[in-house]
Amino acid sequence: MSLLKSNTFISAADVTDINALADKALQYKANPLLDKALGEGKRIGCLFLNPSMRTRLSTQIAAQNLGMEAIIFNVGSEGWQLEFEEEAIMSGKTVEHVKDAAPIFGKYFDILAIRTFPSLVNKEDDYSELYIKQFIKYSGLPVVSLESATLHPLQSLTDVITIKETFKEPRKPKVVLSWAPHVKPLPQCVANSFAQWMNAWGEVDFVVTHPEDYELDKKFTGNAPIIYDQDEALKDADYVYVKNWSTYNDYGKIYSNEPEWMLTAEKLKLTNNAKVMHCLPVRRNVELSDEILDSENSIVTQEAGNRVWAAQAVLSELLKG
Ligand code: CP
């Protein structure tokens, strides 16, 4: 049975069984070349409208492990500026419509993977996932999100894998998503996605903590308790997932730097010696202190390493599908 509902992977909702997909990723971690001929003769196009390190490299390695060729195109910095609005009069900065570009990718590739960040200006376009949906509509290819306007599913699958492989007690771990300070407004994608996957996975006690006014869209946080007192939320946590995000309601803002929200060793004493996670890149001593990042509690490197296995599990499902 396929572990994906269709030939797109842009959300937890596209997965039939999160546990089974995470197990598959861990199988690849134990034996990276298990399916080394699966993608023979196939090509994945990885389109980056925005910068990346981990996503780009891990997806390339995952494709290579499956015998596929990966072609990277930094559309954002090297390509023609794309137009996404239907019936646009293209007399401004945009040079090529996605309606014309995407079918060409359909001729070149077998799978299309796309990174396209939100504008943080037009909430309606961002939250309708206009850009990635236009690629799905016009390419006719299986599409994998490398982080879209509202979600980062390969990161979240990685986070599930990392919790699964590090938690061995016969109970559910307490997992806290904790807002962190930052110097500029960041998308809500990672936080939305982490919440969506934790809720859909259902194998953790999940709590969200952030300053008032930083509420995420309820469709992602669901019934998770939202606690404005960070110290209270951290009590007995087994995992603290640290991430900044800008405001959702008054869209795309940061009101103040809130340095007191940075996770420190002192705050970690409130937890059950929690493991600390972050998707990276991280601004040291703004989002997370040196003392945490350089301590044994930090599993951020293990987490980033697992990006390969998450990507490999998803690509293998698309190749089989
Ligand atoms: N976590 C993550 O997506 O990293 P990159 O932005 O470097 O790809």
Residues 6+ apart with CB under 8 A from 74: 48
Instruction: State the CATH number of the domain containing residue 230.
Output: 3.40.50.1370
pLDDT at 1: 86
For 228, the domain range is: 155-300
pLDDT at 11: 98
pLDDT at 239: 98
172 annotated among ligand-binding-site residues: no
Cα–ligand 1 centroid distance for 53 (angstroms): 5
Q: How confident is the model at residue 258 (pLDDT cuts 50, 70, 90)?
A: confident
Looking at the fold, whether 175 and 281 belong to one and the same domain comes out as: yes
**pLDDT tens by residue, 265-306:** 999 999 999 999 999 999 999 999 999 999 999 999 999 999
Atom of ligand 1 nearest to the CA of 115: 8
Contact in structure between 228 and 222 (CB atoms under 8 Å): no
More confident residue, 321 or 93: 93
Q: Is the ipTM of this complex over 0.90?
A: yes
Q: Is residue 1 part of a domain?
A: no
Cα–ligand 1 centroid distance for 47 (angstroms): 14
46 annotated among ligand-binding-site residues: no
Q: Is residue 176 part of a domain?
A: yes
SS3 category, 284: strand
Task: For the chain, give the percent of residues with pLDDT over 70.
Answer: 100
80 annotated among ligand-binding-site residues: yes
Looking at the fold, whether 134 and 197 belong to one and the same domain comes out as: no
Looking at the fold, whether 107 and 217 belong to one and the same domain comes out as: no
Cα–ligand 1 centroid distance for 14 (angstroms): 21
**pLDDT tens by residue, 45-76:** 999 999 999 999 999 999 999 999 999 999 99
The residue to which tokens 């930052």 are assigned: 182
pTM: 0.98
2 vs 14, 85, 136, CA distance in Å? 11, 33, 20
Residue 134 has pLDDT above 90, yes or no: yes
